[in-house]
Amino acid sequence: MGWERTDSGHLGKTHTLNSTRSATAPLLAVRGEIVYFTSDPASRGAAACEHFPDGLLVIANGRVVRCGPAAELLPALPSEARQIDHRDKLILPGFVDTHIHYAQTSIVASYGARLSTWLAEYAWPAEANFIDPAHAAAEAAFFCDELLQNGTTTAMTFATMHPASVEALFEAAAARRMRLIAGKVLMDRNCPQNLRDANAATGDAQSRALIEKWHERDRLAYAITPRFAPTSTPEQLQLASRLFHEIPSLYLQTHLAEQRDEAAWVAKLYPDARSYYDVYASRGLSGTHSVFAHCIWLENEDRHMLADTGAAMSFCPTSNLFLGSGLFNLARAREAGARIGMGTDIGAGTSFSLLRTLSEAYKVLQLAGQTLSPEEGFYLATLGGARALYLDEFIGNFAPGREADFVVLDPQATPLLARRMANAATLRERLFVLMMLGDEQCVAATYVLGEPMFYRNSHRINHSNPPSSKVASHAF
C-alpha cells in the first residue's frame, strides 16, 4: 500500500487549496497517543473508538494519508518525511463548536440576568459596536485565535446584523485557514433600532451579497441567520426560507426553545403555529444544514420532526446553566435520532473550551438522571459536531483523506492533572479526567490542515527534517 492518495475530496466549489493528488507531496508524520471516533459510541460502544497508544498520523498537503500504530508505519516512512514528536500527548481531531457568537466575546461573563435582560443589557450593546469595521476586524482576529487556543478548528458562529462583521470574521478565519460557518444576523423587529434590518428585503439582499462573495470560498460557508423567532417578522422568515431552498449548500442557524418565557412569547407572536419549532418548520427552515441552538423546551413530537428533517441540535450546557435556561434532554434527542453537536454559545456560554463545555454537559445530564460517558463526550465534540454540520466527509476523524485539523492535549498540563493522571489506568479514565478538569491549559498545540496554528510557549514542538538524498519513495 502506498502513501499517495488518489481521491482528494473537495472543500467546496471554489476551493483554492492544493489537492492531494500529487504522489510526491511532502509528508508530515505526527507521533503521539492518537484517539478518534469512526461512529457514535452511544450506539457502537468501544468499536466506535480508534486508539493508538503510540500512533502516527501521516499527512500530505493538509490531508490525512494514514493513521495507525507508529511501530507499523514508521519503518516504511520515507526518510525525508518531516516528523513531529508529541509522544507524551494525546492527539485528537480538532474540536467542533456548533454554536457561538463571535461578537459577544468581549461581554462573556456579564452578571445577573436571564435571556431577555441579558440580551438587552449586554449582548445588543456589544453587537452595536460592530458598526465599526475596525472593531469587527480586531474582535474577529481575537476570536479566531481564542478558538485555536482552545483546540477548536471548526465553528458555526453568529456575526451581527452588520455585513462588515461577517466580512471581518471570514477574513480572519481564511487567514488562519480555519473551517468556519457564519452569517449576518437577521432581525426586523423586537430589537434596538440600531440593530434592526430596515426591512425584510434589505436583510435578505445583504445576506445574498455576502453569500455571493463568501459561501464555499476556501473552507468557509454561509449560514442564513435569523436570530430567533421573536426578532423576525413572518415575512423575514419567509425570505430566509426562500433563500435556504434556493441554494441547498447554505446553512441555517437560529435559536429554539431556550427559555420558558421565550417560548410563551413566541406562542403570542405566532398564534397560528402549533409550537415554537413549528414556527420554523412550517416555513421550511428545518432541514439538512439547519442548526437549532438549545432545544430545551421542546415537545417530543417536535424533537422527532426536527430529527426527521435532518436538522441538528446544538447542546450548549455552559450557557444553559449561566442563563438558567434549563436542562437539555440528550436521551430524548438521541432517541429521536437527531444530529447533535456541542456549542459553547459564547457570550452566554462561559468558556471557549470544549473540554469545559463537556464537563458542564456531564453535570447537566447528571441533574437530569442521565449521563455522558467520556467517549460520548469526545465524540460529540469532534465527529458528532462534524456530522451535525454535515462536514464529516471532511473533518471529525483521521480517516484517510480527511483534512488534518487536530488538537494536541497535554494530560499533565497542571500539577493537579498530572497527579490525577497518575491514578488513571485506562484511556477511558484519562479522557474523563480531561473532560472534567481540562480547559485551554491542556491544549499544547492546534494544527490546521497539518500546520501548527497555535502552540503554547512552554510546549516545544520538535520539528525534524532529516536530510536525505533519496527520491520520495511511496512504496509502503
Footprint on this chain of Zn ion (rule: CB under 5 A): 293, 345
Backbone angles phi, psi at 356, to 5 degrees: -60, -35
Q: Which of 35, 62, 155, 30 is nearest to 403 (CA)?
A: 62
Closest CB to ligand GUN belongs to which residue?
Answer: 348
Q: Give the residue with the Cβ less far from ligand GUN, 63 or 255.
A: 255
Using CB distances below 5 to 8 A depending on partner kind, what does residue 355 bind out of ligand GUN, Zn ion, none?
Answer: none
Yes or no: say if 55 and 33 are a contact pair by the CB < 8 Å rule. yes
Residue 349 or 377: which CB sits closer to Zn ion? 349
196 or 213, CB closer to ligand GUN?
196
Report d(CA 76, CA 476) in Å as an integer.
Answer: 5
HSE-CB at 302 with a 13 A cutoff on CA atoms is: 21
123 binding ligand GUN? (CB under 6 A):
yes
| Cis, bond preceding 94 (omega within 30 deg of 0) | no
Smallest separation (angstroms) from ligand GUN to the CB of 132: 20
Q: Distance (Å, rounded) from C-alpha 393 to C-alpha 403?
A: 9
CA distance 71 to 54: 8
- Collect all residues with Cβ–Cβ distance below 8 Å to 214 and sequence separation of at least 6: 166, 167, 170, 220, 222
Give the nearer residue to ligand GUN in terms of CB position, either 340 or 445: 340
For cell 456589544, name the residue.
126
User: Least distance to ligand GUN from the beta carbon of 261, Å?
Assistant: 12
Closest by Cα among 50, 62, 51 to 5: 62
Q: Which does 430 bind (CB under 5 to 8 A by kind): ligand GUN, Zn ion, none?
A: none
334 to 373, contacts with ligand GUN by CB under 6 A? 345, 348
Judged by CB under 6 A, the residue of 255, 283, 289, 402 near ligand GUN is 255
Whole-angstrom distance, CA of residue 371 vs CA of residue 367: 9
- 372: β partners: none
- Number of amino acids touching ligand GUN (CB under 6 A): 11
Query: Closest separation between CB of residue 123 and Zn ion, Å?
Result: 9
Instruction: For cell 438522571, name the residue.
Output: 369
φ and ψ of 111, to 5 deg: -70, 140
* Amino acid present at 50: E
- Mask: binding to ligand GUN, 44-83, rule CB under 6 A, as x and -? ----------------------------------------
- Under the binding rule (CB under 6 A), the answer on residue 319 touching ligand GUN is yes
Nearer to ligand GUN, 38 or 190 (CB): 190
CB closer to ligand GUN out of 104 and 152: 104
Phi/psi class of residue 284: alpha, beta or left (left: φ > 0; alpha: ψ in -120 to 50)?
left
CB of 139 to ligand GUN, least distance (A): 15
User: Over the range 402-434, which residues count as b (16 or more CB within 10 Å of their CB) and which as e?
Assistant: bbbbbbbbbbbbeeebeebbeebeebeebbbbb
Minimum separation from the CB atom of position 345 to Zn ion (A): 4
228 binds ligand GUN (CB under 6 A): yes
Which of the choices ligand GUN, Zn ion, none does residue 387 contact, using the CB cut-off of 5 to 8 A by kind? none
Comparison of 121 and 429: residue with beta carbon closer to ligand GUN: 121
Residues between 411 and 470 with contacts to ligand GUN, criterion CB under 6 A: none
Q: Which residue is nearest to Zn ion (CB)?
A: 345
Tell me which residue has cell 489537492. Answer: 19
- Site track 258-287 with ligand GUN (rule: CB under 6 A), x = hit: x-----------------------------
Write down the least CB distance from residue 185 to ligand GUN, Å. Answer: 9
130 belongs to the binding site for ligand GUN (CB under 6 A)? no
Near ligand GUN in 188-227, by CB under 6 A: 227
Q: Which of 123, 251, 139 is nearest to 195 (CA)?
A: 123
Nearer CB in complex with ligand GUN: 255/289: 255
Q: Does 257 bind ligand GUN (CB under 6 A)?
A: no
* Footprint (CB under 6 A) of ligand GUN, residues 77-106: 101
- Nearer residue to Zn ion within complex by CB, 74 or 113: 113
Q: Which stretch binds ligand GUN (CB under 6 A): 115-123, 197-205, 279-287, 350-358?
A: 115-123
CB of 104 to ligand GUN, least distance (A): 6
Buried b (16+ CB within 10 A) or exposed e, 89-122: bbbbbbbbbbbbbbbbbbbbebeebebeebbeeb
In terms of CB distance, is 259 or 286 closer to ligand GUN? Answer: 259
Identity of the amino acid at 78: P
The alpha helices in 310-372, defined as continuous H runs, are 317-322, 330-336, 354-367
DSSP state of 211: H
The residues near 17 (Cβ < 8 Å, ≥ 6 apart) are: 11, 61, 62, 177, 218, 219, 449
Comparing CB distances to ligand GUN, the nearer of 101 and 402 is 101
Pick the binder of ligand GUN from 100, 115, 136, 173 (CB under 6 A).
115
Amino acid at 355: L
Rule CB under 6 A: which residues touch ligand GUN?
Answer: 101, 115, 119, 123, 227-228, 255, 258, 319, 345, 348
